């Protein structure tokens, strides 16, 4: 039965016999491990030649000879010829571990398939079957990257950090791979009400979850307190994930939180998310731009000065957080020059099982939403693209 080991070849002599594709792949891995590398071959690939010119390896431009393994700790054969057998025999006599290309049974060492995810390295041996090992390696790496396997440190970091993670429009499967991986590492999660809350059930029981969710016109945890919480926990050596709905930098105050962390000397990473300004209209079949209909769009809150937006049939307006002020917003847009007959759609609870779309015009949408009991969270789309919605009457 093989004994799995991790070698440290930095500064130690490693010989590669051969200069083709297999040798080139091994050269890259060995240089990454900082081996003192020697390639023995009458001809080599353009890449090995380039590395030799750069002085990153020594190229002996001839065929293999006895004595080439003197001082070596490891040898890789890659000639696909009887020379490999001679090298393996010499390595056995010299007590040098031998990676034998294409012949795992004749080798005294196997090169595993390796994946690196952050500071975790995974090495997979497929029993001598390189393709099998690569397939397994890729599956494990994907599970680590997606957060399906735990990457969380069991001891505190010397210096904690904060990740501002965009959770997307609310559906857990629209959270990015990077976001899921950081959640798998988190010690503390500071969460908004519009974030994909289903993912919280996947966290270990000892992960602290702090709810700072805001309701329209009701902010029980003010932004300054949120900033303080992020800094406090990070300074305690914890991985802190600030999980938001949408994208942290699209009306999400992510910029304020990043600046607060940086001012406190706390490392911070921003992970973009799928913004609901585009995703929720898409869920309702409404593109914010469409050839021949709209060539641009603006994303605003209903609290903004709507009169400053472009007045053009070819420009779409997307309003977030504006259900309560919908009548006021529609009036402001009409007063600014938008036609009362401009199509409008209000999409509630995007991507949820009970997602609902209400369509009308600037002149009718407020009354229609009152009649239907429309409530936040909802995204409002104003413009000709609304006619592309399957809910628009034909």
CA-based end-to-end distance of the chain:
71
Catalytic residues: 192, 214
Task: Give me the phi and psi of 273, to 5 degrees please.
Answer: -130, 165
Task: State both tokens at 247.
Answer: 């994208």
CA atoms within 13 A on the CB side of 274: 19
Structure tokens, 320: 């977030």
Residue in 162, 171, 269 with CA at minimum distance from that of residue 226 = 162
Q: Which of 95, 10, 280 is CA-nearest to residue 170?
A: 280
What letter would DSSP give residue 111?
Answer: P
Structure tokens at 27: 């050269």
Query: Cα–Cα–Cα angle for 110, 115, 116, nearest 5°?
Result: 130
* Token pair for 101: 């290309």
Q: Are 74 and 50 in contact (CB under 8 A)?
A: no
222: Cβ–Cβ under 8 A, 6 or more apart, which residues? none
DSSP alpha helix (H) spans, 147-296: 177-185, 223-235, 254-263, 276-283
Q: Do 240 and 188 meet the contact criterion of CB atoms below 8 Å apart?
A: yes
Max CA distance (Å), the chain: 91
As given in the structure block, the two tokens for residue 225 are 């307190």
Are 388 and 316 spatial neighbours (Cβ–Cβ below 8 Å)?
no
């Amino acid at each position: 039965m093989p004994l799995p080991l991790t070698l440290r070849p930095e500064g130690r002599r490693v010989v590669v016999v051969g200069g083709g594709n297999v040798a080139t792949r091994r050269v890259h891995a060995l240089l990454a491990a900082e081996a003192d590398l020697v390639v023995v071959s009458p001809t080599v690939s353009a890449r090995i030649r380039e590395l030799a010119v750069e002085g990153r390896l020594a190229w002996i431009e001839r065929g293999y000879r006895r004595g080439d393994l003197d001082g070596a700790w490891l040898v890789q054969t890659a000639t696909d010829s009887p020379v490999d057998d001679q090298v393996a025999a010499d390595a056995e006599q010299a007590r040098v571990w031998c990676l034998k290309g294409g012949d795992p049974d004749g080798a005294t060492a196997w090169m595993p398939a390796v994946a690196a995810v952050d500071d975790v390295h995974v090495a997979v041996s497929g029993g001598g079957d390189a393709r099998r090992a690569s397939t397994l390696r890729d599956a494990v790496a994907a599970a680590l990257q997606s957060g399906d396997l735990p990457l969380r440190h069991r001891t505190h970091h010397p210096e904690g950090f904060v990740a501002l993670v965009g959770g997307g429009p609310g559906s857990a499967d629209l959270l990015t791979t990077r976001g899921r991986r950081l959640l798998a590492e988190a010690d503390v999660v500071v969460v908004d009400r519009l974030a994909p809350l289903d993912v919280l059930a996947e966290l270990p029981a000892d992960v602290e979850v702090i709810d700072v969710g805001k309701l329209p016109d009701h902010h029980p945890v003010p932004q300054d307190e949120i900033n303080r919480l992020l800094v406090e926990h990070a300074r305690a050596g914890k991985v802190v994930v600030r999980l938001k709905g949408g994208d942290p930098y699209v009306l999400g105050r992510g910029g304020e939180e990043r600046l607060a962390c940086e001012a406190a000397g706390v490392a911070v990473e921003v992970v973009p998310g799928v913004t609901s300004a585009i995703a929720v209209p898409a869920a309702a079949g409404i593109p914010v731009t469409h050839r021949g209909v709209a060539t641009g769009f603006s994303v605003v809150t209903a609290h903004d000065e709507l009169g400053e937006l472009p007045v053009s049939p070819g420009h779409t307006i997307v309003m977030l957080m504006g259900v309560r002020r919908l009548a006021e917003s529609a009036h402001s847009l009409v007063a600014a020059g938008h036609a009362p007959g401009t199509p409008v759609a209000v999409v509630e609870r995007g991507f949820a099982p009970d997602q609902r779309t209400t369509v009308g015009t600037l002149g009718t949408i407020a009354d229609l939403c009152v009649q239907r009991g429309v409530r936040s969270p909802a995204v409002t789309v104003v413009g000709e693209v609304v006619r592309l919605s399957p809910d628009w009457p034909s």
